[in-house]
Structure 1
């Protein structure tokens, strides 16, 4: 069972405006695509030679987890794709304005030089409330068989159990609605190793 837990946030990039963060979404607002249409285009189970296998409890379909899953999928999708044009088109619908401008806006559309492919397995480890409109969603990702496309004889990674977290925020988007969007990604998330590390290592033993 996934339990929402209260926790502190030590991220130095956390907005410090004392109020509810509001995301200005000029790219999303200018698009004829709706948020729901954008969500449907996110390849949540992988795309091409990247397969994403999710291990989720039944109660994991809460908005915070869905937002984190979309953000995580977007990150691995970028690693697999040689053309980022369709990927970056969806980014304003998945991430806060701050994250989009600081991290994604300058990446362009050229894509990955040597794509990372192969199956990955992702398990939801926990959801921690950081405030009324912010949560930290932690995943264990088994990247043992994730490798460069140019590597025709990949060997299993020794450090395959990867703990990573996404901080998601409930913000007002350009269409006037409030939605959970990804705002930060901790990869790896060393702060969660003491809590989840042993379970993650034990779980991350998959075979393709």
Structure 2
């Protein structure tokens, strides 16, 4: 059998980058057949850039200041991704909503992770939304990105019980452990060509 070429990833970040680190760790352990060709951030101070540099991964600061609108910013971003031969774009705490320019350039090839069981509690502060609502279970969702806010087709989800004494911080910490597990798993499914999309349904053969 001919070995499959590693999937070329770009990871877009804005902050700490713990999910980036989880992906790097799985790749370096030989558990994920992928290669991060670049880490791109709109925030020059993002610690995720340091994480990438520590592993010899190319970093690019793509600051949104200086662009007239999201479409112009995204057009320049698409050019960077094309230059690096990227097949899958991974949003790991990237704090910008992508326009149709990006979404149409990478159809069903942009993944995001959200700290709730979508379609419940989209947008910011999902853990606080879950606690305020009083749900008994929350979790996290890996989904493909469309032009809405956390509205794309669901790839994987993991359920996390909400404890009576949970705070936003304690619930977030337990959800994050599951994020670090299912995000690399979803990328691996894509790398192995095991994902197909029919409408809103993501099909993964058993």
Given the two structures, how large is their TM-score scaled by the length of structure 2? 0.26
Bigger relative contact order, structure 1 or 2 (CA pairs below 8 A, ≥6 apart): 1
Given the two structures, how large is their TM-score scaled by the length of structure 1? 0.26
Higher strand share: 1
